[in-house]
Structure 1
Amino acid sequence: MSHSALDKWQNIEKVVVVGLGVTGLSVVNYLQNLPQDLSIKVIDTRTQPPGQESLRSDVDFHSGSWRTDWLLDADLIVTNPGIALATPEIQQALAQGIQVVGDIELFAWAANAPVVAITGSNGKSTVTDLTGVLAKSVGLNVGVGGNIGVPALDLLADDVDLYVLELSSFQLETTSSLHLAAAAYLNLSEDHMDRYQGMEDYAAAKQRIFMHADKAIVNRDDRFTYPNNDIPTVSFGFDEQEFGVVWLEAQEYLAKQGQPLVAVEELSLVGRHNVANSLVALALLESVGVELTAVIPALKTYTGLTHRCQLVADNHGIKWINDSKATNLASTFAALSGLQLTGKLHLLVGGVGKGADFSSLAPVLNSLNVALYCFGQDGDEFMPLHASALRFETMEQAMADISTKVKQGDLVMLSPACASLDQFKNFMARGDEFTRLAHYYANQIE
């Protein structure tokens, strides 16, 4: 442990961890492996929280309610991102001058390699994963985690050249000393209003990513993403400035300062949002000294996070896209916005609609060369949206029909705008079944 990390732990003997689950367990395990002899207590207000069976017998554990006496006796409280700082019990501890942090703050005390981080309302998981994949493609040892995949503290167990973290607004609330080589703020849209007093409150939490950043990666089309403090900025967007796009001989390219890097049509990722996501990943990597031309081959072959606009088959010029994670209208709308088609889009929609009004999809559908395939419990809700709509009981029946119609240049996409629980265990199972069928039918087409 570095001297600066040791300094942070001076005078800390009693630690209370609030909230178990994957993150809470990673905190407990990390604390137990520190050289200090710490007294560790864990509180979870759920009666049967996940992970309690993994706690060692020497850890005091209380479930089902708060233990204010434990909190007020602590030197340090490490709280789960799911616990709002506004919670009265946490506020009582803060009023007593007790330090309250999250797992990312503990990570910040110990990390000794460069860190880049990504926040935003939408797209941050894809940017985080893509940045990690591209960095690994040029031989860097990379730790990828945070709000996606591996808890940040677990990443400290390995020697790495670069950390890539996805950070939620909840994690940023309890983080105050994270030094970042670059911080990307992708966008801001209304979310988590049950946790925040309003958009300004939510935006302020996101702004914390810039507190100790050397560089800000910002969205030219979203002024909320610009830092309030005075640090260098690099922007991304859909014009020719900085990280953007250029048109050459009727072809669109990702570009830096107007210089083309790779043609958009050479990317395996689909959708306008993924053009932006790719630009952010490139900007982040350049900020830590990675040569951009070296990562272009990996960028071309990157197919996306599983179940999120993921290319799962490409045969005879027909692409099959698994966007099963689109369990609501907004996600499907994002997937369809800016789709660039050379042929027809065969779109699969339906499942459990959760009472949503899908009529706002009609204009975007009418702007596309699309055939609509409606299935599942609430498939009828989509039938009035487009003249091409066909009704099926199951996704498999719909895909069997699609397989007889697709031609070179067509795109088959599952972006259902609905939950999956009428016919599948979860959206992952639905996406896996789509992928299985896509491979089957793609191989049948001659």
Structure 2
Amino acid sequence: MNLISSNKYTVVIGLGVTGLSVIRYLLAQGVRVVACDSRETPPNLAAVQQRFPALNIQLGAFDGELLCSAHEIVISPGLSRKNPIIEQAIAAGVSVVGDVELFARAVTAPVIAITGSNGKSTVTSLVGEMAKAAGINVVVAGNIGLPVLDTLDAAIDLYVLELSSFQLESTQSLKPIAATVLNVSADHMDRYNSFMEYALTKQRIAFGAKTIVVNKQDPLTEPPFAEGVKRVCFSASQPDLKDFGFYDGHIAKGFKPLIAGCDLKIVGSHNYANAAAALALAEAANIPMEACLRALAEYGGLPHRCEFVVTVNGVDFINDSKATNVGATVAALNGFADGPQNLHIILGGDGKGADFSPLIPALKRTAKTVTLIGKDAPALAALIAQLAPELPVANESSLEQAVASAFKQATTGDCVLLSPACASLDMFSSFEQRGEVFSLAARELLA
């Protein structure tokens, strides 16, 4: 390796989509960049070398001397700050940040910042639609798909950002006009030492916020350091006077009905909470309420999030592949709790060290059968056998077989629900691919 003697360089770790956006941004600013990736042959290597032929790229094991001599390190969200070499660089006084921190230093337009264990993509996209309906030049970016540094533009009036805990670990300067932690349930326990560490990482989103939007039904969404900051609450139940919630069949502000629940295209109590949160955030950013309600009435939800796929012989198939943690699946099941107990749910994948026990009460209320797939199918099977032995459980080696198995057990009026409560990478390239495989298998039953 050719070591770099000067400390006037920035190390960008990771040649994924985020890393490439950081490299483009820094080089455009005239910054001297060294790119690192722990993989010997990262997928984007050829494209990076072709676009940036003069870029110094270091592959394989990280060089501690290189990192400890850097002016700054821009870390991929996928790499923990607890990596021993990263910790060594931090101890040496090197600033370690993420792309969102670089964005925060440069952005001049107001920012709405959204995180949470579940629902953050829905709320982020919904707030973006509300801003568009009001004629605001808005960009929706972050963890939802578009790297934040690729969106910096003086013509933008408002940014709506979905932020993960991984991104928030290395962000401190964002100062959003409105920020929320929608909810906190166990996720990424393979990354964090404790549930509380994960919860507190989420709370970093409130640093410098003008308004914080708090889930009245989840005390872990209340920032511990927000004294004197404007506070608005939301919930899926009756709201207090100046807050947003669900009252008398309507999304409401206080006792004032705003839009009937039956007029929404997104359904379930979790989506009533999402709608209330979006309205609270939009109001804090001065987006006109009339435009917000118009957008809310038209909003059809996101792909792979409780998405209707097809009806086969009177059995509905619902794709909730985006439910990559226990809390998301519990929320989906609770959305069906007011109807008949008619769900045939497909669970399983990589649970990331999560506790699956919160699934059991919701399964008892809503499920007829459970079909298991993936890495953590044995753990789920053992838990259900212990805590809900009355539930019929089947194990299948593929998602296609799981779809067929669940369908065989269903009758007219039932629903086959893919809501795995697990990440997908043990069997698929992404939760999107998992959802597409499920949807294709369901449609093929029509043949």
| Cα-to-partner distance string for 1:393-437 (whole Å, 9 max, x where unaligned) | 5525755885x723xxx7553335577799987653453355457
CA distance in 1, matches of 2:37, 2:395: 47
Q: Which residue of 2 aligns with 1:432?
A: 436
For residue 150 of structure 1, report the CA deviation from its aligned partner: 0.8
Q: Which residue of 1 aligns with 2:226?
A: 229
Mind listing any 5+ residue stretches in structure 1 that lack a counterpart? Answer: 1-10
CA distance in 2, matches of 1:99, 1:185: 26
Q: Is the aligned partner of 1:15 residue 2:10?
A: yes
Mind listing any 5+ residue stretches in structure 2 that lack a counterpart? Answer: 1-5
For residue 206 of structure 1, report the CA deviation from its aligned partner: 2.2
Q: Check 1:191–1:440 CA distance in 2 against 1; reply closer, same or farther (3 A cut).
A: closer
Q: Which residue of 2 aligns with 1:49?
A: 42
**What TM-score, normalized by structure 2, do the two folds share?**
0.80
Q: Is the aligned partner of 1:138 residue 2:134?
A: yes
| Cα-to-partner distance string for 1:210-239 (whole Å, 9 max, x where unaligned) | 221111011112222222132111111222
CA distance in 2, matches of 1:341, 1:20: 46
| Deviation larger for 174-183 or 375-384 | 375-384
For residue 388 of structure 1, report the CA deviation from its aligned partner: 8.3
Question: What secondary structure sits across from 2:330 in the alignment?
Answer: helix
Q: State the AA in 1 paired with 2:23.
A: V
For residue 319 of structure 1, report the CA deviation from its aligned partner: 6.5
Question: What secondary structure sits across from 1:30 in the alignment?
Answer: helix
Contact 2:329 2:421 in 1 (8 A): yes
CA distance in 1, matches of 2:32, 2:427: 48
Q: What does 1:310-321 correspond to in 2, within 5 Å?
A: 310-312=307-309, 321=318
For residue 61 of structure 1, report the CA deviation from its aligned partner: 0.7
Q: Is the aligned partner of 1:190 residue 2:186?
A: yes
Question: What secondary structure sits across from 1:367 in the alignment?
Answer: helix
Q: Check 1:190–1:357 CA distance in 2 against 1; reply closer, same or farther (3 A cut).
A: closer
Q: State the AA in 2 paired with 1:285.
A: A
For residue 54 of structure 1, report the CA deviation from its aligned partner: 2.5
Contact 1:310 1:321 in 2 (8 A): yes
For residue 163 of structure 1, report the CA deviation from its aligned partner: 0.7
CA distance in 2, matches of 1:374, 1:329: 16
Q: Work out which of the residue numbers 10, 13, 23 in structure 2 matches 1:28.
A: 23
Q: What does 1:94-109 correspond to in 2, within 5 Å?
A: 94-109=90-105
Q: Which residue of 1 aligns with 2:211?
A: 215
For residue 307 of structure 1, report the CA deviation from its aligned partner: 1.1
CA distance in 1, matches of 2:282, 2:232: 12
Q: Is the aligned partner of 1:293 residue 2:290?
A: yes
| Deviation larger for 93-102 or 211-220 | 93-102
CA distance in 2, matches of 1:313, 1:364: 24
Query: What fraction of aligned residue pairs are identical, expressed as a percent?
Result: 43
Q: Is the aligned partner of 1:395 residue 2:403?
A: yes
Contact 2:214 2:231 in 1 (8 A): yes
| Deviation larger for 289-298 or 428-437 | 428-437
Contact 1:218 1:236 in 2 (8 A): yes
Contact 1:320 1:438 in 2 (8 A): yes
| Deviation larger for 37-46 or 337-346 | 337-346
Q: State the AA in 2 paired with 1:431.
A: G
Q: Check 1:324–1:137 CA distance in 2 against 1; reply closer, same or farther (3 A cut).
A: same
User: What RMSD in Å do the two structures reach over aligned CA positions?
Assistant: 3.7
Q: Work out which of the residue numbers 322, 346, 349 in structure 2 matches 1:349.
A: 346
Q: Which residue of 1 aligns with 2:244?
A: 243
Q: Check 1:303–1:158 CA distance in 2 against 1; reply closer, same or farther (3 A cut).
A: farther
Q: State the AA in 1 paired with 2:33.
A: I
CA distance in 1, matches of 2:278, 2:394: 39
Q: Check 1:206–1:434 CA distance in 2 against 1; reply closer, same or farther (3 A cut).
A: closer
For residue 345 of structure 1, report the CA deviation from its aligned partner: 3.4
Q: Which residue of 1 aligns with 2:170?
A: 174
Q: Which residue of 2 aligns with 1:405?
A: 412
| Deviation larger for 176-185 or 128-137 | 128-137
For residue 148 of structure 1, report the CA deviation from its aligned partner: 1.9
Q: State the AA in 1 paired with 2:412.
A: K
**What TM-score, normalized by structure 1, do the two folds share?**
0.80
Contact 1:146 1:166 in 2 (8 A): yes
For residue 176 of structure 1, report the CA deviation from its aligned partner: 1.7
Q: Which residue of 1 aligns with 2:419?
A: 415
Q: Check 1:339–1:386 CA distance in 2 against 1; reply closer, same or farther (3 A cut).
A: same
CA distance in 2, matches of 1:109, 1:141: 21
Q: Work out which of the residue numbers 270, 286, 289 in structure 2 matches 1:273.
A: 270
Q: Which residue of 1 aligns with 2:3?
A: none
Q: Work out which of the residue numbers 152, 161, 168 in structure 1 matches 2:157.
A: 161
Contact 1:40 1:59 in 2 (8 A): yes
Contact 1:376 1:422 in 2 (8 A): no
Q: Check 1:385–1:161 CA distance in 2 against 1; reply closer, same or farther (3 A cut).
A: farther
For residue 438 of structure 1, report the CA deviation from its aligned partner: 6.5
Q: Work out which of the residue numbers 33, 53, 60 in structure 2 matches 1:40.
A: 33
Q: State the AA in 1 paired with 2:184.
A: L
Q: State the AA in 2 paired with 1:236.
A: F
CA distance in 1, matches of 2:203, 2:231: 14
| Cα-to-partner distance string for 1:177-208 (whole Å, 9 max, x where unaligned) | 11211011112233334433334433332222
Q: State the AA in 2 paired with 1:234.
A: V
Q: State the AA in 2 paired with 1:395.
A: V
CA distance in 1, matches of 2:428, 2:82: 37
